[in-house]
Structure 1
């Protein structure tokens, strides 16, 4: 049975145009993506760094929606996009995205032909990988666009900076590969005080010096991820690769908002049930939280099955009527409970899990800290069971 409405406050919130209730058959839980803020963040980053931007849209554009985000970034003039896997690149091409797309992940041999067929730029991280790409390109009669990956300290993929000479020489001499760029990845740039970034920059510059020794033209050099963009101007070089910062979220707890990017995502739901829980009664699985006194509890229809962190059990909070209320008991697969104390709430009231309401805000960074995760995990964990709504779309001055 649906609980009756409790009582309305005189100052009950009226939803804004961008947050109006969805159609009756839509799920009340939704992610709202502000494309205007996304475009503004791109504009702010480009204005600050003064070089082209490769916007990273891997992992479903950090939970914001791969195709809608990429299409909008193309519309507002992004120079390049970056994805993790060839499948993401193919999805963009099939959706009509035509800007250059670099696949940042390692090459799986049988897929090389798909890179070339869909005009995707390939990360080449060793001589063997280069030969693999060359052989496929020759067999297809089409040249492949490549970027060389140099390992300057991440120890993930890429040829070591101290042994990259033969790869660079072979890439410059290749008949079937067009060398578009050379890059590395910063391991500690989210911390502005880490000395690791300076060491990586030095190693990368030493690797790039091979082009001068060979008398070959320098391809586009790109090194700065979000941390590099925010903290290390020396790493901006010829192009930058912002990911999480493009979506208005800081990459780490030590990071500084040196560029005034704003959060692009809101996560909202609605109250679906209200009840009074008597003192001494536990709430949710495992009876891990017990009411110390009679209190009002509401249920929200989202859970860890949607990617909302279970670690927020009895630790997280939400906004209802602009007031913060704690999650109580364990987060369930599809719902969780909120203790609203002696405050009022009623069915279909908006609940903000991430975002702003009446001048109060809950950030991705706060959710990550409360759940013991990184902001990256929070964003990419929000899965496709949650519908996305897109608002805005105009570049803000």
Structure 2
């Protein structure tokens, strides 16, 4: 039996002054995050730089960084100086590397907030040196060597003058040298071996000039999972830290547990008669009478419109009462509809979009395949309209 269209429960009646009661929420399991960090540490046996850029891959920048700091993480990595400043203002004290390229005018912010700088060219090095000298404080730097990404960094084959200048700098403390792997998500790719060879050859120049070897870090999540030879002096796991594989070709060589779940609730039930189209564009209509429920999340929250149903039967799925059901019609900005067929559902029944319900499970990797994208985009796309709730930590709290 289903709740009729006009039914209402006492809990449906709004209470004046209440906030933060949105039924859609991202659940972040801090116990699983701790498990993954411990598993990666045991696997690689070297220090870990946890990557928390892009709102900690959608999990919440500050709460995740604080939790990792409490678990003794060696270092954090972010993309932009603004992310690093946000963490410092939130009381995060562990070393933080900003991985992205910088403009000269930003150098002072790095130094003032004790953030480590990616220096990606000789010109950038000079800019950082000049700022550090003017401020009377040394800048901590990591040299970026380009071994095959063609994104930022000095080419490995022309890096000698760059390395010599950095090693001789009076105003820059050279902490590390690093590169980024382009194809490590696929254990069969020969690109990783080539990049490692190029990187080690560039690093060998420190020995040639009699300079101390800085920390060397190269391995991203794919490197951590598949290429032990890339672990060197530190690793930089990102998506694997959150319990998600970076690519369909990746191997689960570590016991990783998903940290994120995305859940909502049924907010409406109706019977849709045969032939009556559902949602914008009238792209889907049932062949026979069916039961359809509405879920209050859409592309305005970052849930992909690509999960709309298609003529060939593809589209997103969700879990209701432990069973899979398809999204029908187009995903709207704030809502979408689900065909539950002859099954039952009541208003406020839980709907799982990412995560487990009973024996059924939809992972971020599967959702990405449904949407024709990658799990990174799924997770970081879930925006600030969706509240985050934290469980499994010392102080579970909503944000």
Q: TM-score range by the shorter chain?
A: over 0.9
> What is aligned with 2:15?
none
> What is aligned with 1:12?
none
Deviation of the 1:3 alpha carbon: 2.4
> What is aligned with 1:3?
5
Cα distance between partner residues in 1 of 2:347 and 2:191: 52
Q: How does 1:195-206 map to 2 (within 5 A)?
A: 195-206=190-201
On the 8 A contact 1:151/1:185 being kept in 2, the answer is yes
On the 8 A contact 2:46/2:233 being kept in 1, the answer is yes
Structure 1 gaps of 5+ residues are 7-22
On the 8 A contact 1:31/1:387 being kept in 2, the answer is yes
1:151 pairs with one of 146, 150, 158: 146
Q: Secondary structure at the match of 2:188?
A: coil
Aligned residue pairs total 378
Q: Secondary structure at the match of 1:283?
A: coil
Deviation of the 1:4 alpha carbon: 5.2
- Please list the CA deviations of residues 219-240 of structure 1 after superposition, one character each: whole Å capped at 9, or x if unmatched: 1100000000001000000000
- Please list the CA deviations of residues 90-135 of structure 1 after superposition, one character each: whole Å capped at 9, or x if unmatched: 0000000000000000011101000000000000011100000000
> What is aligned with 2:33?
38
1:292 pairs with one of 283, 287, 291: 287
On the 8 A contact 2:4/2:270 being kept in 1, the answer is no
On the 8 A contact 2:272/2:290 being kept in 1, the answer is yes
> What is aligned with 1:262?
257
Deviation of the 1:216 alpha carbon: 1.0
> What is aligned with 2:11?
none
On the 8 A contact 1:4/1:347 being kept in 2, the answer is no
Question: RMSD value over aligned CA atoms?
Answer: 1.3
> What is aligned with 1:343?
343
Q: How does 1:93-108 map to 2 (within 5 A)?
A: 93-108=88-103
- Please list the CA deviations of residues 263-290 of structure 1 after superposition, one character each: whole Å capped at 9, or x if unmatched: 0000000000000000011100011111
On the 8 A contact 2:20/2:387 being kept in 1, the answer is no
Against the structure 1 CA distance between its residues 2 and 30, is the aligned structure 2 distance closer, same or farther, given a 3 Å change threshold? farther
> What is aligned with 1:67?
62
> What is aligned with 1:226?
221
Deviation of the 1:368 alpha carbon: 0.2
Deviation of the 1:393 alpha carbon: 1.7
1:162 pairs with one of 157, 175, 184: 157
On the 8 A contact 1:3/1:347 being kept in 2, the answer is no
Cα distance between partner residues in 1 of 2:4 and 2:167: 69
On the 8 A contact 1:5/1:346 being kept in 2, the answer is no
Cα distance between partner residues in 2 of 1:144 and 1:25: 42
Q: Secondary structure at the match of 2:219?
A: coil
> What is aligned with 1:110?
105
> What is aligned with 1:317?
317
On the 8 A contact 2:25/2:262 being kept in 1, the answer is yes
Deviation of the 1:136 alpha carbon: 0.1
Deviation of the 1:24 alpha carbon: 7.3
Against the structure 1 CA distance between its residues 108 and 192, is the aligned structure 2 distance closer, same or farther, given a 3 Å change threshold? same
Cα distance between partner residues in 2 of 1:103 and 1:359: 41
- Please list the CA deviations of residues 354-395 of structure 1 after superposition, one character each: whole Å capped at 9, or x if unmatched: 00011211000000000000111101100000000000027x
Cα distance between partner residues in 1 of 2:57 and 2:100: 16
Deviation of the 1:329 alpha carbon: 0.3
On the 8 A contact 2:298/2:332 being kept in 1, the answer is yes
1:189 pairs with one of 184, 187, 194: 184
Q: Secondary structure at the match of 1:299?
A: strand
On the 8 A contact 1:4/1:346 being kept in 2, the answer is no
- Please list the CA deviations of residues 39-87 of structure 1 after superposition, one character each: whole Å capped at 9, or x if unmatched: 1100000000000000000000000000000000000000000000000
Q: Secondary structure at the match of 2:76?
A: strand
On the 8 A contact 1:51/1:236 being kept in 2, the answer is yes
Structure 2 gaps of 5+ residues are 9-17, 310-314, 395-399
Deviation of the 1:25 alpha carbon: 5.0
On the 8 A contact 1:318/1:327 being kept in 2, the answer is yes
Q: Secondary structure at the match of 1:390?
A: strand
Q: How does 1:316-395 map to 2 (within 5 A)?
A: 316-393=316-393
Cα distance between partner residues in 2 of 1:287 and 1:234: 54
Against the structure 1 CA distance between its residues 345 and 5, is the aligned structure 2 distance closer, same or farther, given a 3 Å change threshold? farther
After the TM superposition, list the runs of 4 or more consecutive aligned residues in structure 1 that deviate by more than 2 angstroms. Answer: 1-6
Q: Give the TM-score taking structure 2 as reference length.
A: 0.93
